[in-house]
Amino acid sequence: KAGVTQTPRYLIKTRGQQVTLSCSPISGHRSVSWYQQTPGQGLQFLFEYFSETQRNKGNFPGRFSGRQFSNSRSEMNVSTLELGDSALYLCASTPDPGTYEQYFGPGTRLTVT
Amino acid sequence: AQSVTQPDIHITVSEGASLELRCNYSYGATPYLFWYVQSPGQGLQLLLKYFSGDTLVQGIKGFEAEFKRSQSSFNLRKPSVHWSDAAEYFCAVATLNQGGKLIFGQGTELSVKP
């Protein structure tokens, strides 16, 4: 079974721009979560989606948003990029919210200049 | 508030030596605990998990972890480290009352000496 895939793997953007990252979960997995990883803050939860609904949101500004499609694929969007948004963005999937083990993709490395 | 602490930021062990990575958690209920490993430039790979039952759990790549409720710990062990084990290791707890989001420790970077 294919793992979680994320596109693109690397991205360079300029401050003030916006960016959209994509995540395809493992086949049959319906819950998708997003995490931000930085050297200073470590791994921090962004949000979780199930059945196209956001179930949970971390402590991030409104510039960070996401959505999930009917095929469980998910996107996250960051508007008005700041230098501090440079990070590895990881997507994880689980079969459903009651299954707590999460399977992670390789991440998207975002660099904001 | 729930939290996970990994006291060791960086550990160096010799190849073939045993390994123990420490993890302490703070969580009001029975925790669901995980260990993940991350190689440079990669995502997180699940090594093992503890939900309930036997407090010694076996994982992939020869790793095991022991849950000790009295010490709020979930330490990761391996009897003989291989050079390919060099990576960063993360302990995490699932917050069951918040949809199961994972709270991670800061990670322990493992270096392996030949």
3-state SS of A71-93 is: CCCEEEEECCCCHHHCEEEEEEE
Q: How confident is the model at residue B113 (pLDDT cuts 50, 70, 90)?
A: very high
Counting residues of chain B whose pLDDT is more than 70, the rounded percentage is 97
Task: Give residue B30's pLDDT.
Answer: 77
Tell me the average pLDDT across A48-70.
Answer: 94
Model pLDDT for residues A69-84, shown as the tens digit of each residue: 999 999 999 999 999 9
Q: How many inter-chain contacts (A to B, CB under 8 Å) are there? A: 57
Nearest to B44 among A48, A58, A90 (CB): A90
Task: Give residue A45's pLDDT.
Answer: 95
Model pLDDT for residues B5-53, shown as the tens digit of each residue: 999 999 999 999 999 999 999 987 778 999 999 998 889 999 999 988 8
Nearest to A56 among B43, B44, B101 (CB): B101
Nearest to B99 among A4, A43, A97 (CB): A97
Q: Taking CB atoms and an 8 Å cutoff, what residues of chain A touch B46?
A: 101-104
Q: A-side interface with B, Cβ within 8 Å?
A: 4, 33, 35, 42-43, 45, 48, 55-56, 58, 90, 92, 94, 97-107, 109
| A32, A49 Cβ separation under 8 angstroms | yes
| B22, B6 Cβ separation under 8 angstroms | yes
What residues contact B52, with CB distance under 8 A and at least 6 apart?
A: B30
Is A101 within 8 Å of B45 when comparing Cβ atoms?
no
Distances A74 to A23, A102, B15 between C-alpha atoms, Å: 5, 15, 41
Task: Give residue A69's pLDDT.
Answer: 97
Give the Cα separation of A109 and B43 in Å (integer). Answer: 11
Tell me the average pLDDT across A23-31.
Answer: 95
DSSP line for chain B: --EEE---SEEEEETTS-EEE--EEE-SSPPEEEEEEE-TT--EEEEEEE-SS-SEEE-GGG-EEEEEGGGTEEEEEESS--GGG-EEEEEEEEEGGGTTEEEE---EEEEEE-
Is B46 within 8 Å of A58 when comparing Cβ atoms?
no
Give the Cα separation of B107 and B48 in Å (integer). Answer: 15
Task: Give residue B106's pLDDT.
Answer: 97
Q: Taking CB atoms and an 8 Å cutoff, what residues of chain B touch A56?
A: 98-99, 101
Give the Cα separation of A46 and A68 in Å (integer). Answer: 14
